[in-house]
Amino acid sequence: MTTVEIPNPTKRRFVQLIQLLDNWSEQKITSSDISEITGWSTSLIRHDFWLIGFSKGVSNGYFVSELSEAIKLALGIETSESHYIEKGNVADENRFSDSNDSRSFFKNICIAGLGRLGSALLDESFFENSNFKIKAGFDSNVNRVEILRSTFPLYPANEMQFIIKQQKIEYAILTVQDKDAQNMTDRLIKTGIKGIINMTNVILKVPDNIKVENLSIINALNLVI
């Protein structure tokens, strides 16, 4: 599937919009509904839809399912629907079964750093209803790895290289302490990871082909004051 080139601000709005649409109880939604909740102007909303070639229904609203599907396709987020169409395999009834870990419907992720914040994420239910599946947790502290309970396996950080390749893990959530952030990032990059959700307060130095989203709580607080 080719992904349309979408400007970053639009992409950010779309990612939020998906959550809104997924929780919308009615069959249709208008740009005014969206504007009222998000604060984005209706013209901006319509412009975003135009960018991805979505112009169905305007007078009395968009069909939520169609709109959601169009946005997910444009962002490259596979849906059960798109997966089904793309594979074109009617007989593929196991596509949602847990037994087939290599299926493309889910993107595999890992948690790097199992301190307070990282271990709070050791719960698959946190990612349910999403396209992401946690496959592993890593920490340099072997004791921590042995003591913590989790529904998926935890490993010492020195097994990272092997496990990330073996489990086809593509993205990491970085929850180490600030002082270890860059070092752990360098190690993750060596494993061939594609993107990092950076929950530390550190600006990570990464090559151009690695995507980073910064979710530092302290930085966010500094933005709301």
Binding site for a copy of itself (CB under 8 A): 11-12, 15-20, 23, 36-39, 75-77, 107, 109, 116-117, 119-121, 123, 126-127, 130-132, 170-171, 173, 178, 194-197, 199, 201-203, 205, 208, 211-225
Q: At residue 112, what are phi and psi to the nearest 5 degrees?
A: -110, 105
Q: How far is the CB of 220 from a copy of itself (least distance, A)?
A: 4
Q: Which of 14, 25, 170 is nearest to 101 (CA)?
A: 170
For the bound state, the minimum distance from the C-beta of residue 80 to a copy of itself, rounded and expressed in Å, comes to: 16
In the complex, least distance from residue 117 CB atom to a copy of itself, rounded to whole angstroms: 5
Considering the complex, state which of residue 58 and residue 203 has its C-beta at the smaller distance from a copy of itself: 203
Amino acid 189 reads: I
CB of 76 or CB of 192, closer to a copy of itself: 76
**Which residue, 9 or 53, has its beta carbon nearer to a copy of itself?**
9
CB closer to a copy of itself, 65 vs 216: 216
Instruction: Judge contact between 158 and 174, C-beta under 8 A.
Output: no
Please give the backbone phi and psi of residue 127, each rounded to the nearest 5 degrees, phi first. Answer: -110, 10
CB of 208 to a copy of itself, least distance (A): 8
Closer to a copy of itself by CB, 158 or 177: give it: 177
Of the two residues 101 and 213, which places its CB atom closer to a copy of itself in the complex? 213
**Smallest distance, a copy of itself to C-beta of residue 130, A:** 5
> Which CB contacts under 8 angstroms, 24+ apart, belong to 114-118?
114/138, 114/139, 114/141, 114/144, 114/145, 114/148, 114/154, 114/175, 115/139, 115/175, 115/176, 115/177, 117/175, 117/199, 118/173, 118/175, 118/176
What element of type H or E holds 132?
strand 132-139
Distance between CA 42 and CA 104 in Å, rounded? Answer: 35
CB of 19 to a copy of itself, least distance (A): 5
